[in-house]
Structure 1
């Protein structure tokens, strides 16, 4: 779900595009499930995901980077400049 990194933390995510709202939806196996309102077309869902994480963690967009999973539901995202305890405090405990 979340792992420390030299530059911040890495989130392991399972994305559900085309949902009614964009929100954290709990756990999905060993990943954090996030529902994204945008459809999985032309990178819209990825952009919506990164924008959502920017707001959720209150960091500049330049600190949020998609590492893996550009075309799939399983994604790895690096959030720079945030500690593991700070990241865990932001995420809901579901």
Structure 2
């Protein structure tokens, strides 16, 4: 389980080392940017992944939906949903 921002960043970093597929690498790196933006509002990297932080990330993803093609938007949304199931 992932319980802090630092652990989430480590998870993202390990994806590249584990030869994750291109779609997973794209979605994780895209989401990581929004996690970083939201995390800066709530504290540092050692902070727990709170419901407020998750809501902030989700809100930022929704606000930026026009940046992505419909297929990429669906990919990112699905990855975000699956990622949240890993949060403690």
Q: TM-score, normalised by structure 2?
A: 0.34
Q: Bigger relative contact order, structure 1 or 2, given CA contacts below 8 A and separation 6+?
A: 2
Q: TM-score, normalised by structure 1?
A: 0.32
More strand by share: 1
